[in-house]
Amino acid sequence: MTGPRFTPLVASLPATVPFVGPETQERARGEAFAARLGANENVFGPSPRAIAAMKRAAPDIWQYGDPENYDLKQALAAHHDIPADNIVVGEGIDALLGYLVRMLVEPADKVVTSLGAYPTFNFHVSGYGGELVTVPFNGDFEDPVALIEKAIEVDAKLIYFANPDNPMGTRHNAAVVQAVINAVPDGSLLVLDEAYVEFATDGTAPPFDVADEKVIRFRTFSKAYGMAGARVGYGVGAVDLISAFNKVRNHFGMNRAAQAGALEALADQKYLEQTIQNVAAARDRITAIAKANGLKAIHSATNFVAIDCGQDGVFAKKVLAALIKRGIFVRMPFVPPQDRCIRLSAGRPEDLNLFQAAFPLALAEARK
């Protein structure tokens, strides 16, 4: 033996990539996409105040970011009216999910999620040797009752529940979510991924109860705040759980300009409101485009919309390929029956103009 000795677990892992990036597809195409609507990004972008803050921070990037994320945590605490000690800031929800799984999941531990839910969470669970147990969606909704029942059945350490959901964009209301939290069995932790919650109507998120040890809630600057490329997410939970992140997190992992940008983005709630309105208008237009093509869009509480292409996953995949060919980057759900849909971001008018023009052609090509 000459090379390094991987752990048996890591040696057994496939070299999975949770998502292929649009840049990879662009390189393969030899051409940039005309509309970038596939990655659940917020095409309306960040607040001008956030942009200005990141520009101001650029010359000072020689300094490491504050490892305590103090200013941002204080601002988030004030914004949510909760103590800062109940907040952990990290390099996007993805990184925080990785830390969380690492803290709780050992080989053969059970983790419950919905079949077809967020692949990056699954990537982390498998990466630490956890055993994923899935329950199907109920229609186009995550099924919280089934999640809890399965968690009790398999003695799950973690239960993943995204509300609003990705990839379908549906949501449960706050009363249902609170009932899920209340039903979490002893020894389980509910991972409530609220990445898209700012786009949802009031009454989607129950109030924070930071004393509750049975749930950790994740929020992000990647979606409503339009800063996916900055990598700023946060978790809200009980003090013991939140402070445990300090045992494993990359203390100096935050980009300094991103910290500054997030702080200003949070302060500009007026811009956030405008974004939410822009996104709502774009969702309506996508729904109208679907209808004009004889199809139905799933009602969405997020900044993306799943369009039911009216047939199976094979057909939707053809539609997707035909859109990609026309320079429209979209994605689709991974598993049936949700994979009858394509999923696209609530784009700017110019993005949706392109989609509107390409969609009938893509459908016609797929039907051939």
Write down the number of H helices and E strands in the chain: 13, 12
Q: Is 27 in the site for a copy of itself (CB under 8 A)?
A: yes
Q: Is 240 in the site for a copy of itself (CB under 8 A)?
A: yes
Give dist(CA 145, CA 138) in Å, integer: 10
- Give min distance, CB of 225 to a copy of itself, in A: 9
Q: Is 70 in the site for a copy of itself (CB under 8 A)?
A: yes
Q: Is 7 in the site for a copy of itself (CB under 8 A)?
A: yes
Q: Is 64 in the site for a copy of itself (CB under 8 A)?
A: yes
Give dist(CA 79, CA 20) in Å, integer: 35
Query: Of 231, 326, 331, 343, which lies in the binding site for a copy of itself, with binding defined by CB under 8 A?
Result: 231
Query: Of 255, 287, 300, 338, which lies in the binding site for a copy of itself, with binding defined by CB under 8 A?
Result: 255
Please work out the total of residues on this chain that contact a copy of itself, with binding judged by CB under 8 A: 90
For 311, residues 6+ apart whose C-beta sits below 8 A from its C-beta are 340
Region binding a copy of itself by CB under 8 A among candidate stretches 193-201, 238-246, 280-288, 330-338: 238-246
Q: Is 30 in the site for a copy of itself (CB under 8 A)?
A: no
Query: Of 104, 125, 200, 290, which lies in the binding site for a copy of itself, with binding defined by CB under 8 A?
Result: 104
Burial label, 329 (beta-carbon count in 10 A; 0-12, 13-18, 19+) = buried
Asked if 96 and 242 count as a contact pair (C-beta separation under 8 A), the reply is no
Region binding a copy of itself by CB under 8 A among candidate stretches 132-140, 196-204, 230-238, 287-295: 230-238
Give the DSSP letter string of 108-172. T-EEEEETTS-HHHHHHHHHTTPEEEEE--BTTB--HHHHHHHHHHHT-SEEEEESS-TTT----
Query: Of 61, 78, 145, 361, which lies in the binding site for a copy of itself, with binding defined by CB under 8 A?
Result: 61
Query: Of 164, 261, 313, 347, which lies in the binding site for a copy of itself, with binding defined by CB under 8 A?
Result: 261
